[in-house]
Amino acid sequence: MRHFIGENKISKFDVIEVMCQKDSDKLGRKESHKVRPDSITIIDRGLTKPKVDWNARNKIVLPHVSNSIQALKDAYETDKTSLGLIKPTKLLDFIKTDNLEIYENNGWSVTMNLDGEIIPRVTKIPHIFKYKFKCQCCGESEHNMQCEDWELFESYRSWGPRYQTPEILWEKLRDRYFVKMVEKTNLHFVMGMYSQYPTWFIIGIYYPPK
């Protein structure tokens, strides 16, 4: 739990080292592993601090871009690959499928166990955000995919007390995660697969500036 609060909190681009073992899930996903939480060690924060270095990040991330969702589906059929990265050819919309809530205290609380250890607790965010987009496999059709990006969820959780109403909160979220993404970034989607059925969804966004 030490990596969720305080100076040891893990940032989005920190490099970590963990002890893990292969997980035999239903789909046989190649990348599926179980991590031992107490083994997590931050070994490099150079991609996060002291300042953002998008060139360094791009050298690591962008060589893994796939052509399309169909290319990811083909990779899964070949060797059970269940993670990937794509760049949409056109970003069409960012939508919510339910009403937003305003979470008190940014959705965070802490408790203390019998050993005096502080345990952070965070409000679970419902899966209500989706992107509509096209990629190279679309033709005249489009993808409408659920997005579970960590940064998006944290913005939703923490911005509510600042903006007070669900209407203003949604306006700010849509401006940040759609309007500015179209205008100012080269947005990529980090793609993953559900554990119970081979359906792809967005597990993260990567947005180097134009």
CA distance linking residue 34 with residue 176, whole number of Å: 33
Task: Tell me how long the chain is.
Answer: 210
Give per-residue pLDDT as tens, 43-52: 888 888 778 8
| 16-25, 70-79, 83-92, 102-111: segment of lowest average pLDDT | 102-111
Is the pLDDT at 106 greater than 70? The verdict is no
Amino acid at 72: L
Assign 3-state DSSP to the chain and report helix, strand, coil percentages, each to 5: 30, 30, 40
Read off the pTM.
0.85
Chain position carrying tokens 């996060």:
48
Note whether residue 26 is domain-resident: no
The CA-atom distances, in angstroms, between 173 and each of 16, 163, 167, 181, 202 are: 29, 11, 10, 11, 17
Note whether residue 55 is domain-resident: yes
Note whether residue 34 is domain-resident: no
Is the pLDDT at 202 greater than 80? The verdict is yes
CA distance linking residue 33 with residue 109, whole number of Å: 29
Q: Which two tokens stand for residue 137?
A: 């496999």
Note whether residue 113 is domain-resident: yes
Is the pLDDT at 92 greater than 70? The verdict is yes
DSSP one-letter code for 129: E
User: What does the pLDDT average to over 60-81?
Assistant: 91
Contact by Cβ (8 Å): 27, 1: no
**Would you call 143 exposed, middle or buried from its count of C-beta atoms within 10 A (0-12, 13-18, 19+)?**
buried
**Would you call 42 exposed, middle or buried from its count of C-beta atoms within 10 A (0-12, 13-18, 19+)?**
middle
Note whether residue 37 is domain-resident: no
Residue 175, domain extent: 51-206
Rg, the chain, Cα only: 18
Domain tally for the chain? 1
The CA-atom distances, in angstroms, between 184 and each of 139, 175, 188 are: 25, 12, 13
Contact by Cβ (8 Å): 141, 123: no
Q: Which two tokens stand for residue 154?
A: 């944290």
Give the model's pLDDT for residue 113.
65
Note whether residue 59 is domain-resident: yes
Note whether residue 40 is domain-resident: no
Note whether residue 2 is domain-resident: no
